[in-house]
């Protein structure tokens, strides 16, 4: 197990290093090759040569690219240097300094990550809950009405882009009630959910936070549920066809007990593995959902920083999201190894 762990951790570190290198190549030498100056792009406001000079000093652009990359890595490990602290008026952190926002990139990323985490976790509860419950129900009665209804429902969703789901929900659930009429039907207008805005989570009163996220949760869950339902159903059907299930039936166990205590436990690991991988990727930023609903998460930060070529922020977000994926993958691998000894020796 230790050897397995060490191997996986070493692999993860290698992947992170490759990620930082490729990110750096795109945003620094790559931009220069395109005839652009990363320092001027980073500062955005270049009305003084001094501001650009500060950015150039901070980013190490007066040195060879190997020095620049080394500084980039060193800052990740030990934090900003005294020079970087001085240029950024103490705001720089390990992920750098956004001249546009005048904030440490790490500070920006962490605050946005918390928002995305709330969005992804809430949606995950919905799509996993649906997939497990209805996947099991569908497998227990193949071609029954639950199976057919869920298959049609998820099959229809499979082809619908998440932004269309989002805008449709926004229109039908948040907007139409306020008009008091829909397709010729008239009713008293009311407000069901807010159309704009976001509130931070307060444990003493979580409702303002939740009401801004209900529709994004549903939109993201609808976009993810198809694959999970089908996988859960298929794994359950496969598990129910195993010898140990036949033995359990022969012993006279109740079908419900067989399904929940025996078959489901064996059907869940592939779903859990997929969830782990998706979770890491989604945490990196659910760009489309965040954009449609105006959620100030990591995805929207990534989008605006890349569109604006805000180099320090873009590299920081990409690096952070990449590390998240690697870490979650590592955690999934370790969990699998703990649950299934066969994995450790594969």
Partner 1 sequence: MRQARSWLPIALAACALPLGLSACGGSSGTSTSASAGGASPGLIGPSVNDVPKSPTRGGRVRWVISSEPDSYDVTNTYSGFSWSMAYLVCNGLMTYPDKGGDTGLQPVPDLAAGAPKASADTKTWTFTLKQGVHFSNGKVVTPADVKATFMRMLNPKSSGDTIGYFLPIAGAPAYNAGKATDLPGITISGQQITFHLTKRVPTFPLRLALRTACVVPKGTPPTPQTTNVPPTTGPYMYAKIVPGRSATMDRNPYYADEVKAGLMPDRGFVDGYDISVGGSDTQANLAIQANQADVSANRSGSIARLAANPKYKSRIVSLALPEVAYFWLNPHVAPFDNVKVRQAINYAIDREAIVKVLGGSLVESPWGQVLPPSFPGVDAADGYPSKPDLAKARALMKASGVHTPVTTTLYNVQGEPYTSMGTAVQQMLAQIGIKLNVRALPGSALVQYVSNAKNAAPMGLYFWQADYPDAEGFEYPLLCGCEEVGGSNYGHYSNPDADRIMQQAVTTPLGPKRNALWEQANKVLTADAAWVPLALDRWIDIFSSRYHAFLLSNAMGGAADYAVGYLDK
For the bound state, the minimum distance from the C-beta of residue 142 to partner 1, rounded and expressed in Å, comes to 42
Centroid of chain to Cα 143: 34
Q: What residues contact residue 272 under an 8 Å CB cut-off, 6+ apart?
A: 332, 335
CB of 189 to partner 1, least distance (A): 9
**3-class SS of residue 86:** helix
Question: Collapsing DSSP states into helix, strand and coil, what is residue 185?
Answer: strand
> Residue 121: is it exposed, middle or buried by C-beta count within 10 angstroms (0-12/13-18/19+)?
middle
Q: Which is nearer to partner 1, 214 or 309 (CB)?
A: 309
Distance (Å, whole) CA 264 – CA 238 = 10
Closer by beta carbon to partner 1, 46 or else 266: 46
CA angle 321, 324, 326 (to 5 degrees): 115
Q: Which residues bind partner 1 (CB under 8 A)?
A: 31, 34-37, 40-41, 43-51, 54, 89, 99, 101-103, 108, 112, 167, 170-171, 174-175, 178-179, 191, 194-198, 200, 291-296, 300-301, 304, 307-309
Minimum distance from residue 340 beta carbon to partner 1 (Å): 43
Which of 166, 276 has the CB closer to partner 1?
166
Cβ 78 to partner 1 shortest distance, Å: 24
Nearer residue to partner 1 within complex by CB, 68 or 98: 98
CB of 77 to partner 1, least distance (A): 27
Q: What is the rounded CA–CA span in Å between residue 207 and residue 103?
A: 30
Nearest distance in Å: CB 173, partner 1: 11
* Beta strand residue intervals within the chain, DSSP E: 97-98, 103-104, 181-182, 185-186
Of 200 and 257, CB closest to partner 1:
200
Nearer to partner 1, 29 or 294 (CB): 294
246, 250, 254, 255 alpha-carbon torsion, rounded to 10°: 30
């Amino acid at each position: 197990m230790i050897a397995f762990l060490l191997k996986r951790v070493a692999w993860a570190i290698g992947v992170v290093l490759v990620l930082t290198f490729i990110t750096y190549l795109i945003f620094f030498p790559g931009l220069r090759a395109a005839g652009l100056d990363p320092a001027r792009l980073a500062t955005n406001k270049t009305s003084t040569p001094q501001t650009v000079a500060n950015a150039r000093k901070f980013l190490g652009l007066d040195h060879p690219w190997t020095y620049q990359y080394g500084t980039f890595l060193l800052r990740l490990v030990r934090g900003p240097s005294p020079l970087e602290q001085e240029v950024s008026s103490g705001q720089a952190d390990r992920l750098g300094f956004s001249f546009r926002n005048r904030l440490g990139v790490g500070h920006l990323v962490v605050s946005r990550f918390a928002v995305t985490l709330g969005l992804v976790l809430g949606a995950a509860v919905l799509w996993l809950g649906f997939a497990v419950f209805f996947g099991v129900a569908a497998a227990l009665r193949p071609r029954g009405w639950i199976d057919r209804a869920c298959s049609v429902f998820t099959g229809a969703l499979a082809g619908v882009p998440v932004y269309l789901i989002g805008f449709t929900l926004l229109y039908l659930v948040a907007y139409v009630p306020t008009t008091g009429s829909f397709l010729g039907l008239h009713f008293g207008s009311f407000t069901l959910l807010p159309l704009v805005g976001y509130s931070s989570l307060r444990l003493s009163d979580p409702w303002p936070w939740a009401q801004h996220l209900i529709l994004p949760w549903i939109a993201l869950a609808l976009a993810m549920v198809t694959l999970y339902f089908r996988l859960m159903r298929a794994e359950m059907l496969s598990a129910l066809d195993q010898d140990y299930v036949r033995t359990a039936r022969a012993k006279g166990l109740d079908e419900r007990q067989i399904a929940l205590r025996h078959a489901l436990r064996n059907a869940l690991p592939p779903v859990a593995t997929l969830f782990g991988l998706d979770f890491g990727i989604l945490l990196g930023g659910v760009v489309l959902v965040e954009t449609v609903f105006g959620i100030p998460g990591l995805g929207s930060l990534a989008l605006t920083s890349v569109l604006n070529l805000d180099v320090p922020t873009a590299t920081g977000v990409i690096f952070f999201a990449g590390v998240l994926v690697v870490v979650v993958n590592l955690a999934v691998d370790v969990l699998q190894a703990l649950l299934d000894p066969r994995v450790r020796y594969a």
